[in-house]
Structure 1
Amino acid sequence: MSAEQYEIRTINLRRASERNQLKTFLLQENLTLESDLDYAICLMDGDRIIGSGCASGNVLKCIAVDVDYQGQALTNRIISYLRLRGFHEGYSSLFLFTKPGNETVFSELGFFTLAKSPDAILMENRSDGFQIYIDSLKIPDDSMPAASIVMNCNPFTLGHRYLIEKACGENERVHLFVVKEDLSVFPFDQRMSLIQEGCSDLKNLFIHEGRDYIISHATFPTYFIKDSKIINDSYARIDLDLFARRIAPALSITKRYVGEEPFDVVTSRYNQLMKEILPENGVDVVEIPRKSCSDGAVSATKVRKAMADNRYGELKNWVPPTTYDFLLSEEGQKIGEIIKRKALSVAKESEQV
């Protein structure tokens, strides 16, 4: 039977019956339905789902074909449909994370491998996407050795400033990559603006959007991996492999600065893997103790907690003046209200447990 004879049906992810039908199919394929999907299609043989393809922004996910229907080029049809949809949505590149065993399948469908880990690979549907990103960065046209930092800054604190200032004081050039994903409570544009304003005096600092090539743990797909430890390690290894083999050589990066992480288990494990992977690829890891004040280490988490508790007077101890002024502004107060509502929701859920 020709692949074209099967109906492609767009799934309404807000409708429980359709979402549950897709969820059941994916479970049969040993996959899980992720919560951040904004688009989904299914191939139908009558009322039976025989294939699926989903997307979260420009990341393709949950691509599967029923074993009884494999060998009919159905994956090709699903990918072609998702490519067309991505084009109409204005995405210049599409990405997918998948099992290493699927690398050949997607390579034959026009995807190129960007980074690998033992349990996952990252692929892109164009061979020049990464080079276009590098060419877009505003950097001097030379190969001077440089240091680097990757940050989220949710929001920008004196702890972030301390780490950046340390790197800038010890190196002639520093590249700072800001994680692009907008799942943080402070939107990307605002985080970028606070960093730029708070570091305007550091003339050897080059601030870049991480875009799709600095992977966020919050957006790393987990639909094909069950074990949480493997998920965390796969995310870290993919991100670090991409940084070590692609970003660092392109920008002559020989050092990466990172702050100590004594509290968060996931970040601590990431730092541990960083110390293993980057030196193997010619990039030294420089770990800096956290900046402390009278009431302990400075952190963005502490800032958000104070905002949730309406303790704005304490923020001056933890954030630069530029960040403090923003937090007191009308826009900053709106973000503060979002933080308060989230904190209240978490508290209510805890009471019900």
Structure 2
Amino acid sequence: MYRIKRLWLEKDPKAYKDWSLLLRESKIDVNEKLDYSAGIYQGDRLIATGSYQRNILKCLSVAEEFQSENLLTRLVIHLLERLREENQTHYFLYTKPSNQAIFQSLGFHEIVKTDQILFMEQGLPTFEDYLEYLSRKKKGDSASGIVMNANPFTKGHQYLVERAAQESPLVYVFVLSEDRSEFSTEDRLEMVKRGVAHLKNVEVLLTGHYLISSATFPTYFLKDRTEAKKASQQAELDALLFKEKIAPVLAIKRRFVGDEPYSEVTEIYNETMQKIFGEELTLSILPRIAVEGEIVSATKVRAAYQQNNQELLSRLLPATTYDYLKEQIQSRGEEEWKSSKKLSLGQ
């Protein structure tokens, strides 16, 4: 009676039209980035669909008159089987809070939820494992927190950490684990560690999947092409997760952020944190610093790095980051030289 098949949304205009109509009926955004989509058909009619990007289930929708047919369960089982074939063993999903019972029956566990979004996971390692990792890092009964991408670690980032370290007995700096930046997670973590090594009350941690990640806050990585409403909903989820689940484990009472004159998404995030934290968690927003009249920006630094503009890099970066990137530039130059020699020798 029903058949399930893959949807090639970029290649099949009719499939895309039917899919987008079904999602809009469920008030689900059609502008998601997806790696795989499947649909359930009755005859030629698409009556249910589900997708994933990386290990995150998205865009799950069933036509209203078929919602008693257990099609959502069939879709999720199909998607998880596909993910296992890709050697994925840890899955996340966004869904409506009203769907909680369905996904719990499929083995998903709640991480956090707002009025509009339920965030769940299945597989290992779990959110509880991440909280256990944090608990082992706890060093005091009162601390501040900073979450940064550090892409790369600039004088602005260093100023933020130094101010927090001056005003707090202990500071936890969370570096984004998400590997979707120009500099790798390994490089960014190393730059932060070098840049705060002189501060004895600072501990550097990774965020895992649970702070500003593709799972909790995907629009953060699409700052130039996202909707304010969508960013606000995801920022609320991320801020609530930090406030209710992460901050208590480390006794974090205060979070430091920089103000944001350039990115609408980051500005929305700051405003949302202010609202969600309320009086329970203090949000300290510090103004961006300027060097020789120029506001320090990681975007400017990345451009200077690509252009090998040593003078600008030396002005905007702490010595630790400058030296690290200089090592990378030299290493890159050596690799390019080796490659050119191989080509010239016909190797």
Is 1:314–2:312 an aligned residue pair?
A: yes
Amino acid at match of 1:294: E
Residues 8 and 15 of structure 2 are in contact (CA less than 8 Å); yes or no, is this contact kept in structure 1? no
Report which stretch shifted further, 308-317 or 174-183.
308-317
Q: Could you tell which deviates more after superposition, 154-163 or 92-101?
A: 92-101
Q: Note if contact 2:5-2:40 (Cα within 8 Å) is conserved in structure 1.
A: yes
C-alpha distance in 1 between matches for 2:255 and 2:306: 33
Q: Does the Cα contact within 8 Å between 1:326 and 1:332 map onto a contact in 2?
A: no
- Quote the residue 1:348 is aligned against: none
In 2, Cα distance between the equivalents of 1:331 and 1:86? 37
Q: 270, 283, 286: which one pairs with 1:285?
A: 283
Partner Cα distance (1:53, 1:237) in 2: 24
TM-aligned CA deviation for residue 265 of structure 1: 2.7
Instruction: Encode CA deviations 1:199-239: one digit per residue, 9 max, x unaligned.
Output: 22333222222121103486249xxxxx9332121011111
Q: Distance in 1 between matches of 2:158 and 2:235?
A: 24
Find the counterpart in structure 2 of residue 102 from structure 1.
99
Deviation at residue 171 of structure 1 after TM alignment: 2.1
Structure 1 window deviating more from structure 2 (237-246 vs 261-270): it is: 261-270
Shift, 1:326, TM fit: 3.6
Query: Could you tell me how far 1:88 is from its partner in structure 2?
Result: 4.0
- Number of the residue aligned with 1:340: none
Q: Distance in 1 between matches of 2:199 and 2:31?
A: 41
The one-letter amino acid of 1:305's match is A
Give the secondary structure class of the aligned counterpart of 1:286.
strand
Equivalent residue for 2:336? none
Q: Report how far residue 12 of structure 1 moved.
A: 4.5
Residue of structure 2 in register with 1:10 after alignment = 6
For 2:96 and 2:201, locate their aligned partners in 1 and report how far apart those are by CA, in whole Å.
40
Matched with 1:347 is none
Aligned to 1:117: 114
What 5-or-longer segments of structure 2 have no aligned partner? 221-225, 334-347
> For the aligned residues, what is the CA RMSD?
3.0
For 2:180, which of 175, 179, 183 is the aligned residue? 183
Aligned to 1:294: 292
Q: Contact 1:116 / 1:237 at 8 angstroms: preserved in 2?
A: no
Could you report, residue by residue, the CA deviation over 1:162-203 in whole angstroms, capped at 9, with x for unpaired residues? 111221222222111112222222222221121122222333
**Corresponding residue for 1:236?**
235
Q: Per-residue deviation at 1:262? A: 3.0
- Residues 305 and 330 of structure 1, relative CA distance in 2, 3 Å threshold: closer
Q: Counterpart of 2:341? A: none
Could you give the per-residue CA deviations for residues 277-311 of structure 1, whole angstroms, max 9, x where no partner exists?
A: 2134x211122222221132211022123345553
2:135 and 2:249 in contact (8 A); partners too: no
**Residues 257 and 286 in structure 1, CA contact (< 8 A), matched pair in contact too:** yes
- Check if 1:207 corresponds to 2:201: no
TM-score by length of 2: 0.82
- What residue ranges of structure 1 are gaps of 5+ in the alignment? 222-226, 336-353
Partner Cα separation in structure 2 for residue 82 and residue 332 of structure 1: 44
The verdict on how the C-alpha distance between 1:309 and 1:98 changes in structure 2, with shifts beyond 3 A counting, is: same
The 5 A counterparts of 1:62-211 are: 62-125=59-122, 129-137=126-134, 139-140=136-137, 144-211=141-208
Inter-CA distance 242–140: structure 2 relative to 1 (3 Å threshold): closer
- 1:87–1:207 CA distance, 2 compared to 1 (3 A): farther
Greater relative contact order (CA < 8 Å, ≥ 6 in sequence): 1
Answer whether contact 2:18 2:46 (CA < 8 A) is retained.
no
- Partners of 2:322 and 2:188 lie apart in 1 by 13
- Note the C-alpha offset of 1:321: 2.4
Structure 1 residue 35, shift from structure 2 partner: 5.0
Q: 236-245 or 292-301, which moves further after superposition?
A: 292-301
User: How far apart are the structure 1 equivalents of 2:247 and 2:109?
Assistant: 19
Name the CA shift for 1:21/1:153 in 2 (closer, same or farther; >3 Å). same
Distance of aligned partners of 1:206 and 1:332 in 2 relative to their CA distance in 1, 3 Å threshold: farther
Distance (Å, rounded) in 2 between the aligned partners of 1:197 and 1:110: 41
What SS does the corresponding residue of 2:271 show, helix, strand or coil? helix
1:26·1:62 contact (CA, 8 Å) conserved in 2? no
Deviations 1:23-51 (A, max 9, x none): 53232331344453222222234444332
- Give the corresponding residue for 2:274: 275
Query: CA separation of 1:260/1:245 partners in 2, compared to 1, >3 Å: closer, same or farther?
Result: same
TM-score, normalized by length of structure 1?
Answer: 0.80
- The verdict on how the C-alpha distance between 1:141 and 1:314 changes in structure 2, with shifts beyond 3 A counting, is closer
Determine the structure 2 residue equivalent to 1:25: 19
In structure 2, the residue matched to 1:247 is 246
Matched, 1:263 2:258: no
Change (3 A) 1:212 1:178: same
